[in-house]
Structure 1
């Protein structure tokens, strides 16, 4: 289907022709309607970036998976996902830390690592930033659409960041389009986002 081909940047054919790869699956989702986007913007007091809008007008979320066959066993391996609009929800301190006596995210913020020439300023869990979850990465972290200037939030103030399981931030890309290309290029391999952290991908994930 042409629109699916466009969405997956042709990766489906590459995967399907790779030895050992099986069960390449795309869960088709209908396009979002414009009113869903405008109601999201009103509810969150944020202007959605144009490339994110265009993505949702093509498909309301994205999920593609593939497996490998090893000695008659089929093992799920790749998973590429972008939340639907209804799941593009704001990450707040309370949603991240509901445990009693847990340190607050404000406690964890390390202000000594603020913006420098080669490092953009990290997102904040207070009113300085507005953060939305694009992908929960099967529990290995969260990919987030971050508005860097608080509300009312402007589309041009967005970046894509990765929040690891230790709740440290890692910059990924300036735009959603650039992130989406990265996601497809890395084939949704487990923990691929950790390649953009100082500690890299875990040995288990590399195997």
Structure 2
């Protein structure tokens, strides 16, 4: 299969053909080479799908009464879904497959016709997204629409959320207690997050109240050490924080106790000395009785 993309050549736009292999290599950013270095990884597989026609994309939008964002439209124009999988096992030298526990890592995006609307969540009169620090709270109404992009496990799904028909959708993790946890603002960011977390199973639970399963943490520590730092942003470029510089140490204003005692004594001596000098400037008063006798 050949994929046609526009490129800029001599200040003009021409049509060039990109091979299917090159397209997927660019999309995965060398993920396969990273995974192949681990002896715990095997059976790496990539399933390829043809792109969707624009008329079919418009038909899906018409049937669901929503407009897909531009990056999602471009994605489905190139490939109708995405499925990249591999097997993880501690017993990678074992020949007894029946006794080996295998976890499947994956990057999945449903095909266009598999993006189905889901229900069962709580709704209120007004839909909105409220932000509390780094956390987001999603409030949906009857006008809101939620579509499944991919299944995480039997309890959670990655979903595309329209808070109303005319808004730009965002991507959330929809988990078993019918709670929504913010993942990304668009498909491009979410796909980059999948790559940054190496498709390790259930990595999406990092943003949930349930937290990442312990077995998934062990996989991270084995094949992706250092990734599970909650303060590290794997997608966005870190922003400059002015609080990190020009900090004044409050200890410079604290006078040691011994110095305070010395200063206090010095101040007392100076006060006493000034008092003596002040007294010496004025003669002592003499009182005279009514009889004119000096006392």
Pairwise TM-score range, normalised by the shorter structure: 0.7 to 0.9
Q: Look up the match of 1:79.
A: 106
Q: Look up the match of 1:102.
A: none
Deviation for aligned residue 1:117: 4.4
Question: Is residue 2:36 matched to residue 1:9?
Answer: no
Partners of 2:137 and 2:180 within 8 A in 1: no
Aligned residues: 188
Query: Could you tell me which of 65, 73, 85 is aligned with 1:65?
Result: 85
CA deviations 1:55-96 (Å, max 9, x no partner) are: 111110001110135223462420110000001111123xxx
Gaps of 5+ in 1: 94-104
Q: Look up the match of 1:99.
A: none
CA deviations 1:1-35 (Å, max 9, x no partner) are: 10111222221121123223111000111111111
Question: Is residue 2:191 matched to residue 1:180?
Answer: yes
TM-score (norm 1): 0.81
Partners of 1:145 and 1:160 within 8 A in 2: yes
In our comparison, the structure showing a higher alpha carbon Rg is 2
TM-score (norm 2): 0.58
Partners of 1:123 and 1:146 within 8 A in 2: no
Partner SS, residue 138 of structure 1: coil
Alignment of 1:119-134 (within 5 A): 119-124=135-140, 126-134=141-149
CA deviations 1:165-189 (Å, max 9, x no partner) are: 2221101111111011111221221
RMSD of aligned alpha carbons: 2.3
Rounded Cα–Cα distance in structure 1 between residues aligned with 2:103 and 2:210? 25
Rounded Cα–Cα distance in structure 2 between residues aligned with 1:165 and 1:9? 32
Deviation for aligned residue 1:121: 4.0
Deviation for aligned residue 1:123: 4.6
CA deviations 1:83-132 (Å, max 9, x no partner) are: 00001111123xxxxxxxxxxx338x8x9xx72443444052x4242111
Deviates more, 1:176-185 or 1:12-21: 12-21
Q: Look up the match of 1:44.
A: 64
Partner SS, residue 139 of structure 1: coil
Rounded Cα–Cα distance in structure 1 between residues aligned with 2:132 and 2:214? 31
Q: Look up the match of 1:106.
A: 122
CA change 1:199–1:106 in 2 (3 A) is closer
Gaps of 5+ in 2: 1-20, 219-295
Deviation for aligned residue 1:204: 3.3
Q: Look up the match of 1:162.
A: 173
Partner SS, residue 115 of structure 1: strand
Partner SS, residue 22 of structure 1: strand
Question: Is residue 2:215 matched to residue 1:204?
Answer: yes
